[in-house]
Amino acid sequence: MRQSELFIKTSHKAPSDEETEGAKLLVRGGFINKEAAGIYSYLPLGLRVLENITAIIREEMNSLGANELLMPVLHPKENWQTTGRWETLDILYKVEGHGGKWFALGPTHEEIIAPIAKKQISSYRDLPAYFYQIQTKFRNEPRAKSGILRGREFLMKDLYSFHTDEKDLEKFYAKALNAYKRIFKRLGIKALLTEASGGTFSKYSHEFQALSDIGEDEIFYCKACGFSQNKEIAKIREGACPKCGKGEIQKSNSIEVGNIFKLGTKYSSPFAVKYKTKSGEELEAVMGCYGIGISRIMGTLAEINRDNRGLLWPEKVAPFKLHLIELKKGLATKAYKSLQDKKDNILYDDRDTTAGEKFADSDLLGIPYRAVISQKTKGKIELKQRNSSKTKLVSINNVKKLL
């Protein structure tokens, strides 16, 4: 893509209404635009990052055999009354429609998926069943801060599983846990598998926590073996790790980037999601749920991958793989055309501006590779990685191989 056709500009000034460095860089780079506290637009570069993250998550969900669907934002009040959460969940946005009909803006979708599953499940032969979605969620947070890390409107992947019994849930839970590990590995996020209470949702849960000073969570963990507990439940807060005995328990702030819950029959029971066993007995299905905050992951990546000049996107989520910069108008057009492929991996800075501004913007945007063509490079390309200061002069074919 030509940068002259991006329509969005970077900004030199940090926004005064963002607290964290990552959020400031996302705004300055033109990745996001703040519409209200906790509510953002994803501008073209930001949307590309969001979609790259989504693609990785979608692949792993499909590999679990889960089927994607899309449930609505507006949830009938009755569904939330069935579980009692209409009154108890304090972060619910409530909206009145025609005929005095009330809706919740979905903060999670157990109240919708359970009745859908009820219609589809009648026999043990219909189980297990796994559904997931990529959907915008809403939480009427008392205070929304840290940019897209804790939004009032945010993008999530949520997966729901239905099983004949807890043993089958356990089996899938272990598979989902491994899928989550793969996801965070692919995203370049070190996420500690952390034991936690279920909060509003369930008794037991696992969280994936990324270490970060600006995280709102606190965990006690062992560097040696990875044992980790959320402050909420952590009893061992210092000394030797109770798991490996080798490491020392340490405390850290962290960002919760994913969580998985065994729900049991908490939601299948009120919605009567039942199945007939082989012997004809009628039992309630056992449920699990598995969430990942997609926009929060984008925010987390911005917090943990940056320097004082700007962002450093991991290759797999970067809005573009290569930033092609020309230092004289039109000098890189031929190279751009020759390098371009269907994947649209190149941002071509064809703007009529100074080299200084181009380099500063390139560092700010954090595209993994920078390729400069100037009169000095004499038909070759000066290649540099964003996180390195070394440049080397390479041929266009070398760059092609890189892409």
Give the DSSP H or E segment for 53: helix 44-63
Site for a second copy (CB under 8 A): which residue of 89, 116, 283, 396?
116
3-state secondary structure 15-26: CCCCCCHHHHHH
Rounded to a whole number of angstroms, the minimum distance from the CB of residue 335 to a second copy is 21
| Distance separating alpha carbons of residues 309 and 304, to the nearest angstrom | 14
Stretch that binds a second copy, among 87-95, 187-195, 257-265, 282-290 (CB under 8 A): 87-95
By the rule CB under 8 A, 43 interacts with a second copy: yes
Residues 107/89, Cβ–Cβ less than 8 Å: yes
Residues 10/365, Cβ–Cβ less than 8 Å: yes
Stretch that binds a second copy, among 40-48, 191-199, 246-254, 381-389 (CB under 8 A): 40-48
Site for a second copy (CB under 8 A): which residue of 73, 89, 331, 393?
73
Phi, psi (5° rounding) for residue 93? -80, 130
Q: Where are the alpha helices (DSSP H) in 287-354?
A: 294-304, 333-339
By the rule CB under 8 A, 271 interacts with a second copy: no
In the chain, the amino acid numbered 93 is Y
By the rule CB under 8 A, 379 interacts with a second copy: no
| Distance separating alpha carbons of residues 43 and 212, to the nearest angstrom | 25
Start-to-end C-alpha separation, the chain: 15
CB closer to a second copy out of 31 and 369: 31
Site for a second copy (CB under 8 A): which residue of 83, 124, 126, 204?
126
By the rule CB under 8 A, 321 interacts with a second copy: no
Site for a second copy (CB under 8 A): which residue of 14, 17, 19, 35?
35
Q: Residue 102's Cα: distance from chain center in Å? A: 30
Site for a second copy (CB under 8 A): which residue of 21, 42, 173, 306?
42
Stretch that binds a second copy, among 131-139, 193-201, 306-314, 391-399 (CB under 8 A): 131-139
By the rule CB under 8 A, 85 interacts with a second copy: no
Stretch that binds a second copy, among 129-137, 175-183, 284-292, 371-379 (CB under 8 A): 129-137
By the rule CB under 8 A, 15 interacts with a second copy: no
By the rule CB under 8 A, 50 interacts with a second copy: yes
> Which residues make Cβ contacts (< 8 Å) with residue 200, sequence separation at least 6?
85, 88, 89
The SS3 assignment for 196 reads: strand
| Distance separating alpha carbons of residues 56 and 46, to the nearest angstrom | 16
Give the E-state strand segments of 164-285 in sequence order.
191-197, 204-211, 217-222, 228-230, 249-264, 274-276, 282-284
By the rule CB under 8 A, 68 interacts with a second copy: yes
In the chain, the amino acid numbered 31 is F
Rounded to a whole number of angstroms, the minimum distance from the CB of residue 79 to a second copy is 8
By the rule CB under 8 A, 6 interacts with a second copy: yes
Site for a second copy (CB under 8 A): which residue of 17, 59, 84, 97?
97
| Distance separating alpha carbons of residues 234 and 224, to the nearest angstrom | 18
**Three-point CA angle 298, 302, 308, nearest 5°:** 170
Rounded to a whole number of angstroms, the minimum distance from the CB of residue 297 to a second copy is 15
By the rule CB under 8 A, 33 interacts with a second copy: yes
Q: Residue 135's Cα: distance from chain center in Å? A: 12
By the rule CB under 8 A, 395 interacts with a second copy: no
| Distance separating alpha carbons of residues 64 and 318, to the nearest angstrom | 25
Q: Which residue has the tokens 């007939």?
A: 276
Rounded to a whole number of angstroms, the minimum distance from the CB of residue 252 to a second copy is 29
By the rule CB under 8 A, 136 interacts with a second copy: yes
Site for a second copy (CB under 8 A): which residue of 25, 49, 57, 138?
138
Residues 165/127, Cβ–Cβ less than 8 Å: no
By the rule CB under 8 A, 8 interacts with a second copy: yes
Rounded to a whole number of angstroms, the minimum distance from the CB of residue 67 to a second copy is 4
By the rule CB under 8 A, 112 interacts with a second copy: yes
Q: Which residues bind a second copy (CB under 8 A)?
A: 5-9, 33, 35-36, 39-44, 46-47, 50, 65, 67-76, 79, 93-95, 97-98, 101, 103, 105, 112, 116, 119-120, 126, 129-131, 136, 138, 140-143, 152-153
